[in-house]
Amino acid sequence: MERPRHQGMAKNTYMRWRLPLVCLLWEVAMIILFGVFVRFGPEADAHWEEEKQEMNLTSDIENDFYFRYPSFQDVHVMIFVGFGFLMTFLKRYGFGAVGFNFLLAAFGIQWALLMQGWFHSFKSGKILIGVENLINADFCVGSVCIAFGAILGKTSPIQLLIMTLFQVTLFAVNEYILLNLLHIKDAGGSMTIHTFGAYFGLTVTRILYRPNLEQSKDKQGSVYHSDLFAMIGTLYLWMYWPSFNSAISEHGDAQHRAAINTYCSLAACVLTTVAFSSMLQKKGKLDMVHIQNATLAGGVAVGTSAEMMLTPYGSLIVGFICGIVSTVGYVYLTPFLESRLHIQDTCGIHNLHAMPGLIGGIVGAITAAAATEDVYGKEGFIKAFDFTGTYQTRTPSVQGGFQAAGIVVSLLMAFAGGALVGAILKLPFWGDAAAENCFEDDIYWEVPEDEESDVYHMHNPDKPASP
């Protein structure tokens, strides 16, 4: 039994030929490009035995695989389960949240391997990949998952794939400018992933503004169990964030330190989130939206500085501030952005990624500028900021300046890229749903008829179900 109200849709959301065509064509393109360009890096190639002798390594344990694979798997979980389930909070958009996230990330990692490969792992005409490339591809896709949060429930899967194609491309360009041209540090991606991804997504959703979105307001809330599903996403993001921020840091102390700093920042963030969630509600009750999101802001905000000597108490301070900023953002800023600036931000990524990402960039700039040989040790200082070769003479304060410039570049790239992509997605033939059908899986998915939803339609046909 099809629900009648969807029959008379104003918009054509029929995906049968468009979606398969995009998926198949793009995957064929991936195969061709991988065939031409992508090969195993020396540590994954069967010539490794010879490589080991050349590099004078005595044991297989020196293979980068053993330094980074556990972190890679944690990051992988964050992208697919973390982001996927975090967005299942909507009562009738769980399939879309976890399913479309799955789709765009699966495409995105392939395209990111190519784009990032051309910029960073290109040797004699081939992209040589290893576990670090897999992590970087996940990172890149992470920025798309963030942007997806802003437009969640309002776009077709084709639009998401198109956004992924462009955003991954721009991500790689921005990352190249920051890491290679400006020679800045951003191991956990406060700037490259969060600031860029969030402002990109916010620009896209601004351009796709839907004036009549309140028509689907009854579906924009959660139900009891959808909030619990979302907590799976939250917790996996929270628990594995130390792996995220340390995954591509230098072997040894830097990876170790990045994990500890992130752990501390996240712990502090939980307490201030709870404090402000209770404080800002009339009856002092906690709001699941804050617990699901603002508790993670601390991880975002040490993304740049985690591998630096931020110190545990420095991390606590950053987490402390971000829990407050993010929770206050959910209560006051999100409604303001929607009503005044027409930015409809479904998941509130402005509070979870945009502001904490900016803070993270600034904290990174300050921490870098404050670095001394005394604190890092002579060798450690050079290693931490890679002050070698052309950059041998760069001072900490100059480094801090370049770090700050990285924030600005990321913002500009995000606004320009988001505007371009938003304009493309506004074209009328991508199959997005009408305003009254947003946040509803039924448009793009075969949805089982639940007992409870039958009852719902019997008894409460017109009642808005949730705040």
Cβ-Cβ contacts under 8 Å for 348 (sequence gap 6 or more): 149, 289, 293, 329, 330, 334
Q: Which of 175, 287, 345, 432 binds its own copies (CB under 8 A)?
A: 287
User: Binding to its own copies (CB under 8 A): which residues in 84-123?
Assistant: 84-85, 88, 91-92, 94-95, 98-99, 102-103, 106-107, 109-110, 113
CB nearer to its own copies: give 18 or 394: 18
- Check binding of 466 to its own copies (CB under 8 A): yes
Q: Which of 124, 211, 283, 392 binds its own copies (CB under 8 A)?
A: 283
Using a 10 angstrom Cβ sphere, with 0-12 exposed, 13-18 middle and 19 or more buried, the burial of residue 107 is buried
Segment near its own copies (CB under 8 A); pick from 174-182, 226-234, 393-401, 415-423:
226-234
Write the interaction track for its own copies spanning residues 306-345; mark x where CB under 8 A is met and - where it is not. Answer: ---x-xxx--xx--x-------------------------
Residue with tokens 């599903």: 229
The CA-based angle 224-288-321, given to 5 degrees, is: 170
Query: Does residue 131 belong to the site contacting its own copies (CB under 8 A)?
Result: yes
**Angstrom distances, CA of residue 176 to CA of 9, 105, 120, 223, 396:** 44, 21, 8, 42, 21
Contact 422, 415 (CB under 8 A): no
- Residue 291 makes contact with its own copies by CB under 8 A: yes
Pick the stretch among 162-170, 188-196, 398-406, 457-465 that binds its own copies (CB under 8 A): 457-465
Size of the site for its own copies (CB under 8 A): 150
Asked if 289 and 277 count as a contact pair (C-beta separation under 8 A), the reply is no
The nearest distance, CB 183 to its own copies, in angstroms, is: 19
CB-nearer residue toward its own copies: 45 or 338:
45
Minimum Å gap between C-beta 301 and its own copies is 15
Task: From 26-34, 179-187, 348-356, 422-430, give the range in contact with its own copies by CB under 8 A.
Answer: 26-34
Supply the minimum distance, in Å, between the C-beta of residue 390 and its own copies. 22
Contact 171/140 with Cβ under 8 angstroms? yes
Please tell me what DSSP assigns to residue 432.
P
Stretch 181-220: interaction string toward its own copies, x if CB under 8 A: ----------------------------------------
Q: Which residues are registered as beta bridge partners of 38? A: 127
Instruction: Determine the straight-line distance between the first and last CA of the chain, rounded to whole angstroms.
Output: 29
Q: Is 5 in the site for its own copies (CB under 8 A)?
A: no
Q: Does residue 401 touch its own copies according to CB under 8 A? A: no
Closer residue to its own copies in complex, CB, 110/167: 110
Residue 3 binds to its own copies (criterion: CB under 8 A): no
Calculate the alpha carbon distances from 69 to 54, 59, 63, 65, 97 in Å: 23, 17, 10, 5, 27
Residue 362 within binding range of its own copies, rule CB under 8 A = no
Q: Tell me how far apart the alpha carbons of residues 450 and 429 are, in angstroms, rounded to a whole number.
A: 32
Q: Are 343 and 147 in contact (CB under 8 A)?
A: no
Residue 53 CB, nearest approach to its own copies (Å): 9
Residue 346 tokens read as: 């479904």
Cα dihedral sign for 82, 85, 90, 92? positive
Q: Does 30 bind its own copies (CB under 8 A)?
A: yes
Identify the CA nearest to 289 among candidates 86, 116, 119. Answer: 86
> Closest Cα partner for 170 from 429, 424, 402, 428?
424
Q: Indicate whether 9 belongs to the interface with its own copies (CB under 8 A).
A: no
Amino acid at 180: N
The binding track of 134-153 with respect to its own copies, each residue x by CB under 8 A or -, is x-------------------
Pick out residues in 32-71 that bind its own copies (CB under 8 A). 34-35, 38-40, 43-50, 52, 59-67, 69-71
Q: Is 402 in the site for its own copies (CB under 8 A)?
A: no
Report 241-270 residues binding its own copies (CB under 8 A).
242-243, 251-257, 259-260, 263-264, 266-268, 270
Q: Per rule CB under 8 A, is residue 176 in the interface with its own copies?
A: no
Stretch that binds its own copies, among 142-150, 207-215, 276-284, 339-347 (CB under 8 A): 276-284
CA distance 148 to 99: 12
d(CA 353, CA 47): 42
Q: Return d(Cα 331, Cα 281) in angstroms, integer.
A: 9
CB 236 within 8 A of CB 82: yes
Note whether 412 binds its own copies by CB under 8 A. Answer: no
